Structure 1
Amino acid sequence: MKFTLVFLFLTSFSFAQPNTELYLMDISENGDSLQITNFKNISNRPGYDNQPSFIDNTKLVYAGTENDNTEIILYYLESDGQHRLNAPTAGGEYSPQSFPSKPLVAAVRLDTTGLQRLYSYEYGIPGYGKWKMLFEELEVAYFAFQDDDRIIASVLSGDKLDLVVGTISKDQALLLTTNTGRSIHRVPSSSSISYTQLNTEGTYDIYIVDIDDTGESFYVCTLPMGIQDHIWLNNSTLLLGSNDKLFMMDLFKGTNWFKVADLSEKNISNITRMAISPDGKHLAIVAMPQEK
């Protein structure tokens, strides 16, 4: 059964975008802390640079500012080079990430007409990637791939987000749950997806769901007050950013968050979104630069 959604979501991106920067670093575990090396700003320009996602251990994509528009930027770790991935559009692209096993990137596009849809983009020819609309009516806000044909996505429902399973080949979406958040991630070495859901106290709980198994959601833990984002370092370890520090939770050791890195000397604040490379050696974070 087709679950039709007609929403407005990303219109706020057309104005008052925060001046965020994207930072990349190498990480390694050192006891109960993370050792940070080779820390650098890889966007380093005015405007909105956000929503990183690794294609593999040598490439990542993010939503970056180019000519006052938000584009899909492809960054090469080994050469420190980067360029616009997609052919120019009249709209802006957000939340880019690669398909699990196809040479394509998916991103949410907001056109100047207000039309918001999820598209796929080729990236074989730098700056000229052709696109294809993936859903005729579904307005995706945030998403993660279950496989090449299915996504778990938060979509806007009135003044809140709801979680759906979208099947690209059928152009269908089925409701999973309501009142969810923006942080959706594949749990490493598993077929489960984690997502966040707003609780009655105004904070976000992390749940996991495996739609190929029972399809039931299981509570994992609660994010600290004011935090919306999380990632997985492995299938039992969570990471989040708060102000200029990184915190970890090892689910084998309990449900307490403990500080693993202090980035205050890097002149950043308000760490939000993060991404980890498949080999676990590179961490990308979004933060606000502090004036020196």
Structure 2
Amino acid sequence: MFGGTNKLYSLFIIVFFFLSISYGYAQESTDLFLIQAKKSLFGFKIYPETVKKITKGNNYDNQPTFINKSQFVFTSQAESGYTDIIMYNLVNGKFTNMTRTSDISEYSPDITSCGQYISAVTVEKDSTQRLWLYPINLGEPELLYDDIKPVGYYGWHGETAALFQLGTPNRLVYPYSREDIFEVAQNPGRCIKSRPGTDEIVYLDKNTNIISDGKEVFELKGYNVNSRQSEKIGTALGNAEDFCWLDKNNLIMARDNSIYLKNISKGTDWEEIAFINMPGYQNISRIALSPDNKNLVIAMEPAN
């Protein structure tokens, strides 16, 4: 009896530890904030004075992604410890549960190219992590890439998702077909984004870190899905992980309470374009930009 209990307890600890390093239970408390922005012929401007707190929970509200110019989806942790995908409407300020599950968790929501599904990494009942599709009309979810697991993160390029596959080491793979799953890189960063107007998937290469001004800096790599080649397209912001595209050539990243912009084509350095002063909060992590470039959503953690 006691031997069986100990084995069960050990299994629980192993599963809990695995989840803590990939998703879920070890996530720190964060909230989401909406900021107005504008892109013009004179550049891109963020208006810090417009910052507005969106979420009000004490848990993990993070991983925002716009699905159109007036709605974004994000991951929200319930008191149970499990997470759901929530949609927020900028026009009426309403929240809608895209998932409502009591025994599984969903993370990293995004919109598919057809616009009919919200995709998410789902931690299933047996702790398997795979990519699932959740219909916008709240129909039954569908499993995608059933043979690729465990998935930690992903990024869409058209109808195909490049997948961050957890392991030793972690790998970035691109599934051309069930029989042709191409390894793009080892030790990629968690942020994987399609570069607008190109055939490239962009990621951080964590094999290439250098220290500059006391900050860890990684190369940005672009993987061409046609040639199957990766090449350096620039360097990421030091001590930063997540990025989003303003357009084909301009990237946005954040560190501490500041937001930075870099033009990849010109090879310029990172330029600070906004400082977000939100009392009681610090450290911008995830960042998302609306398709019309008029709204920015950031995730921040409570200050100690």
Name the residue aligned to 1:276: 289
- The answer for the alignment partner of 2:152 in structure 1 is 141
Name the CA shift for 1:200/1:40 in 2 (closer, same or farther; >3 Å). Answer: closer
The amino acid that maps onto 1:156 is: L
Give the partner amino acid of 2:165: V
SS in 2 for 1:88: coil
Q: 1:245 to 1:236 in 2, by over 3 A?
A: same
Q: CA deviation at 1:35?
A: 2.9
Percent identity reads: 25
Equivalence for 2:217? 203
Distance in structure 1 (CA, Å) of the matches to 2:243 and 2:273: 14
Shift in Å at residue 269 of structure 1?
A: 1.2
Distance 1:11 1:171, change over 3 A: farther
Tell me the matched-pair count. Answer: 278
**Residue in 2 aligned with 1:3?**
none
> What residue number does 1:65 align with?
77
Matched-pair contact (CA < 8 Å) for 2:59–2:79: no
1:251–1:203 distance in 2 versus 1, CA, 3 Å? closer
Higher gyration radius (CA): 2
Verify: 1:287 aligned to 2:294, yes or no. no
Partner of 1:49: 61
Post-superposition shift, 1:9? 5.8
1:203 touches 1:223 (CA, 8 Å); kept in 2?
yes
Q: Which amino acid aligns with 1:136?
A: D
Judge conservation of contact 1:10–1:116 (CA < 8 Å) in 2: no
Q: 1:166 to 1:11 in 2, by over 3 A?
A: farther
Q: Does 1:22 align with 2:47?
A: no
Deviations 1:193-238 (A, max 9, x none): 21111114363211112203x2211211222332111111111111
Alpha-carbon deviation of 1:66?
A: 2.9
Give 1:177's aligned amino acid. Answer: A
Q: Comparing 83-92 with 68-77, which one deviates more in the overlay?
A: 83-92
Q: Which has the higher helix share?
A: 2
Q: Distance in 1 between matches of 2:296 and 2:229?
A: 30
TM-score, length of structure 1 as denominator length: 0.87
Residue in 1 that maps onto 2:175: 166
Higher relative contact order structure (alpha carbons within 8 Å, sequence separation ≥ 6): 1
Distance 2:44 2:88 in 1: 27
Q: For residues 157-185 of structure 1, give each alpha carbon's deviation from its aligned partner in whole angstroms, at most 9, with x where no partner exists.
A: 21x32111025x74862211211110111
Distance in 2 between residues matched to 1:247 and 1:132, nearest whole Å: 37
Q: Residue deviations 1:233-261, cap 9 Å, x none?
A: 11111111110010111234433011100
CA contact (8 A) 1:11 1:110 kept: no
**1:77 aligned partner:** 90
The Cα shift of 1:87 comes to 4.1
Deviations 1:118-141 (A, max 9, x none): 11111214xxx4211112231221
- Structure 2 length as normaliser, TM-score? 0.83
- Superposed CA offset, 1:84-107 (max 9, x none): 102425111100101011410110
Aligned pairs for 1:1-292 within 5 A: 10-12=19-21, 13-29=23-39, 34-36=45-47, 38-68=50-80, 69-125=82-138, 129-139=139-149, 140-148=151-159, 150-158=160-168, 160-167=169-176, 170=178, 173-198=181-206, 199-201=208-210, 203-212=217-226, 214-265=227-278, 267-290=280-303
**Aligned equivalents of 1:112 and 1:17: distance in 2?**
19
CA RMSD of superposed structures (Å) = 2.4
Runs of 5+ unmatched residues, structure 2: 1-16, 211-215
Structure 1 CA distance for aligned equivalents of residues 18 and 294 of structure 2:
34
Alpha-carbon distance in structure 1 between the residues aligned to 2:103 and 2:179: 24
* Letter of the structure 2 residue corresponding to residue 211 of structure 1: V
Letter in 2 for 1:279: D
Contact persistence 1:136–1:171 (CA under 8 A): no
